[in-house]
Amino acid sequence: MTEDNRMPGGCGTGAGRVDLIDETGIDASLDTSISVLGEATVPSPLQDRSYSCFVSDDDRVLARVSVRNMEDNIARGRRPASFELAGPRRRIYFRPEGLRCAIVTCGGLCPGINDVIRSIVLSLNYGYGVRNIYGIRYGLRGFVPGKGPDPVELTVDSVNGIHEHGGTVLGSSRGPQPVDLIVDRLVGLGVSILFIIGGDGTFRAGARIAEEVRNRGLDIAIVAVPKTIDNDIYLVSKTFGFDTAVEMACQSIRCAHTEAIGAPNCVGLVKVMGRYSGFIAAAATAALREVNFCLIPESDFDMDGPGGFLDALAKRLEERSHAVVVVAEGAGQKYVSGPEQARDPSGNVKLGDIGLFMRDRIKEHFASMNREVFVRYIDPSYIVRSVPANVDDRLYCGNLGQNAVHAAMAGKTAMMVSYWNDRYVHVPLMAAVSRSKRVNLRSRFWMSVLESTGQSSLKAAS
């Protein structure tokens, strides 16, 4: 595919959605085969409801759809990489009668988690007649005796209205837990399907759980739904909650712009989430087009020197008397990271606070020049991730949950449900964690950000 890749959903609805993914590196060598527990021989109860949207495992979605990519594969005599199409199968693996399922949510909060939980419960109930569904409390630690409360029963009534609230009704946690104890608990509960809602670290845990299940010869399906507000999971066009996060970030940027134009030589500075990828910062910048500097982890910048950020900011203030700066939390870490980097329970490096650093550095720089400059600093991070999902994300979450149920009932395992090239697909967990997604600095998406801000490279002249 060309670098101008289309992302369903974008920053809003309708035409003109921006491109947010970089598919470079996807080729015919990518292993997209989906593991199954066994042959699906049970007639799906959905056949009794005049469904006309059944799909088969032979239905595929191309990973890359450009003509050039197709010609390259033909010339090399190989089939292009493709994904298994998601959706209901005519025959399923599990018999719904007496089937027990579990749902667990892991990692940080994100708009839409409750929507996914609700979608899974409703789909299991109304689609397949499955009534026994456990909610595991506080992430994977809820499987370990003594570390979490007992599972809760999830019913149609108990999930009624949960999508109106942010966060997760099941609670969450970070950090690894003993895989053998997790599988022991699944066996003790009689669970045959585990739905995991989480990000990269959760998927790695899910892959290990699936391996332990396979080694024990158990019939337990592990199906994941990708969740990360940063939108950095590989082989997913976008993760749920991203649209909502961008919308909330835009509200903060509008406030920063209002503050900036309300006083002479005023800088509105907004820090948004994005540890290693700057999708939220870049998408919000492209959506509003009121931002003058967008700083993301993928694009290095210098603070000082001719052509550096402070030099460019000074020129902007001379020309327009105000400026709006958006910085992702993982940007400019060379200025705020110490030699000894602490890590959170999930193993992620604890980032230095680039927002506070830039606020103070801007003030110090202009004070040293005897120039009066005001800085209005806004950090909406926890507000962004804790709000309920917007309409676009609710639709997306509903479809992800439904397709996760269809995959699990068909006996698919060690996989995640993804949205790719305008279709819901199945992606192996190991493929999903093989790398992380980053903003492609050569993409049309990033170019649209630069065209909107007018910023230079922000690298000091040597």
In angstroms, what is the C-alpha Rg of the chain? 24
How big is the chain, counted in residues? Answer: 462
Alpha-carbon torsion, ordered 329, 335, 341, 342, to 10 deg: -40
Q: Report the distance separating Cα 354 and Cα 334, nearest Å.
A: 9
Long-range contacts of 23-28 (CB under 8 A, 24+ apart): 23/63, 23/64, 24/440, 25/435, 26/1, 26/63, 26/64, 26/81, 26/235, 27/64, 27/81, 28/73, 28/76, 28/78, 28/79, 28/80, 28/81
- Phi first, then psi, for residue 458 (nearest 5°) are 60, 25
Residue 243 bears catalytic tag: no
22, 115, 230, 379: the catalytic one is 230
Alpha carbon of 54 to those of 85, 381, 398: distances in Å?
10, 41, 18
Element (H, E) at 281: helix 279-288
d(CA 189, CA 192): 9
The DSSP-derived string for 225-264 is: EE--TT--BTT-S--TTHHHHHHHHHHHHHHHHHHHHTST
Estimate to the nearest angstrom the gap between the alpha carbon of 263 and the chain centroid: 37
Q: What does each C-alpha distance from 206 to 139, 196, 402, 421 come to in angstroms? A: 12, 7, 19, 25
Sign of the torsion angle spanned by Cα atoms 329, 335, 338, 339: positive
Which residues have a catalytic role annotated? 230
